[in-house]
């Protein structure tokens, strides 16, 4: 059934009229200094008024503020084009967006659009989000000389040894919570925490027919690419790069979207690389838009907290997903499922095959229902069974096969909930070299077949509170 689903996934491509404008026609200067925000705006506006078409960015270094995209527009970054987004926080208006599983006020994304149809970003140029101006940095992730250079650029260090660009960014979490408690829908009320509201590099919300083909997207302030509540999405031949230490430096977050193909792309990022989400807790359940009908194939991940990740924000559900022919090198976890009590939602009908992994720091394959927002798998918590409610996450009907992993800490980890075990998981035809073998707690109706395990530590298999294995 899942393979038939993959064949049925063929997103409609955007329809872009045969009309072209150059940003240089509107006074753009590619010297890396001139502010081209007005030129970009005028070029996009002129193209939209003509009924749509292609806005071409020629070779050069193009400094600009955030760009508001429009329907029936293709933004084409030519080879040799480097778009450098502003590092001045005041250039980014505060507006309603979506982040970490809920709708909330954020600074406008450098590449931003809502309620659009037929949008394309193409070419072989580079879009750089200037993320180093926004992101906090953990001292432990830099060498001593790197840390010294960073703190001498300015900013402040908090009590936990985390560098922030400004005091307002450092205090932003606490102050944001106070503002949100008032229920304010006025963007002006959020100005005091502007420095904390880091934008995703690309945010496309409630859009149809999206194409990302060719460019490099890098150095985002938060997540790199975030389509939300959108459909008919094609992502191909792109490169996504963030520093390995980038806080919240996800590569691609497909969030409450349907009919999606991701193929022939590479990721080297600071958090989860390719991630499927559908909202967090009550907000996700109320939105009720699952991520579904998704195919991911022929992609490479060089660094990330997970190669392919489902969760932890999955409260609207994730289903009918096919992942194939990918390579993960040096990720914290390879194939990663994560959630926790409170989420609710159902993850089902997931088919993953022909994945190659090397030098995985944690688990080659991981199901962790005790995820608390920390890197790695998290610790299993032996505790009493709780009642099953709408807040109980469900993971079931998952097939993983033809996996080769050369080096991991644990071959397969399943940490299910006592009241809702991870159910109907099949892992077969795989060879994994790891320190530990299979660790399964609270699993039900599991099939492990034709596996070759080479591990250093005993026991090879550890099962606890599991049934029908």
Blockwise average pLDDT, block size 10, the chain, 469 residues: 59 96 98 97 97 98 98 98 98 92 92 98 98 95 94 92 95 95 93 97 98 98 97 98 94 98 98 97 94 98 96 96 98 97 96 98 96 61 84 97 97 96 97 96 96 90 93
Q: What is the pLDDT of residue 243?
A: 95
- Residue 250 annotated among the catalytic residues of the structure: no
Q: CA 416, CA 395: separation in Å to the nearest integer? A: 9
Q: What is the pLDDT of residue 378?
A: 57
Q: CA 39, CA 24: separation in Å to the nearest integer? A: 8
Q: What is the pLDDT of residue 301?
A: 98
Q: Which of 271, 272, 320, 332 is catalytic?
A: 271
Q: What is the pLDDT of residue 458?
A: 79
Q: Which of 303, 305, 322, 409 is catalytic?
A: 305
- Residue 305 annotated among the catalytic residues of the structure: yes
């Amino acid at each position: 059934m899942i393979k038939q689903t993959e064949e049925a996934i063929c997103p409609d491509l955007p329809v872009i009229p045969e009309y072209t404008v150059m940003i240089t026609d509107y006074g753009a200067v590619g010297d890396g200094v001139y502010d081209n925000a007005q030129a970009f705006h005028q070029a996009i506006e002129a193209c939209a008024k003509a009924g749509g078409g292609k806005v071409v960015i020629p070779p050069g270094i193009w400094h600009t503020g955030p760009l508001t995209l429009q329907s029936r527009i293709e933004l084409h970054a030519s080879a040799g084009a480097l778009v450098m987004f502003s590092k001045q926080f005041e250039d980014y208006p505060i507006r309603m967006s979506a982040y970490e599983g809920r709708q909330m006020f954020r600074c406008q994304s450098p590449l931003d659009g809502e309620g659009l149809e037929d949008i394309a970003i193409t070419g072989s140029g580079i879009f750089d989000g200037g993320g180093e101006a926004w992101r906090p940095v953990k001292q432990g992730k830099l060498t001593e000389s790197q840390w010294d250079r960073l703190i001498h650029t300015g900013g402040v260090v908090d009590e936990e040894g985390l560098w922030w660009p400004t005091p307002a960014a450092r205090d932003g979490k606490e102050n944001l919570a106070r503002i949100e408690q008032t229920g304010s829908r006025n963007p002006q009320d959020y100005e005091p925490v502007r420095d904390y509201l880091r934008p995703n590099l690309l945010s496309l919300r409630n859009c149809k027919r999206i194409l990302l083909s060719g460019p490099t997207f890098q150095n985002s302030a938060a997540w790199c690419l975030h389509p939300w509540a959108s459909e008919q999405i094609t992502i191909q031949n792109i490169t996504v790069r963030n520093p390995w230490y980038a806080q919240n430096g996800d590569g691609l977050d497909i969030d409450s979207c349907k009919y999606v193909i991701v193929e022939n792309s590479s990721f080297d990022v600071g958090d989860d690389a390719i991630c499927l989400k559908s909202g967090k807790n009550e907000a996700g359940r109320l939105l009720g838009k699952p991520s579904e009908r998704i195919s991911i194939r022929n992609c490479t991940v060089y660094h990330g907290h997970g190669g392919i990740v489902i969760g932890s924000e999955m409260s609207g559900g994730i289903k009918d997903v096919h992942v194939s022919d990918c390579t993960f090198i040096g990720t914290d976890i390879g194939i990663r499922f994560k959630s926790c009590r409170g989420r609710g939602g159902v993850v089902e009908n997931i088919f993953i095959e022909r994945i190659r992994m090397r030098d995985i720091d944690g688990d080659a394959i991981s199901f962790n229902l005790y995820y608390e927002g920390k890197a790695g798998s998290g610790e299993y918590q032996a505790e009493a069974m709780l009642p099953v409610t709408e807040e109980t996450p469900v993971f079931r009907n998952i097939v993983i096969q033809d996996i080769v992993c050369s080096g991991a800490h644990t071959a397969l980890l399943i940490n299910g909930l006592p009241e809702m075990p991870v159910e109907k998981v099949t892992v077969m035809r795989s060879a994994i070299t790891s320190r530990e073998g299979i660790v399964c707690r609270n699993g039900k109706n599991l099939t492990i077949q034709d596996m070759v395990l080479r591990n250093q530590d005993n026991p090879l298999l550890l099962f606890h509170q599991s049934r029908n294995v």
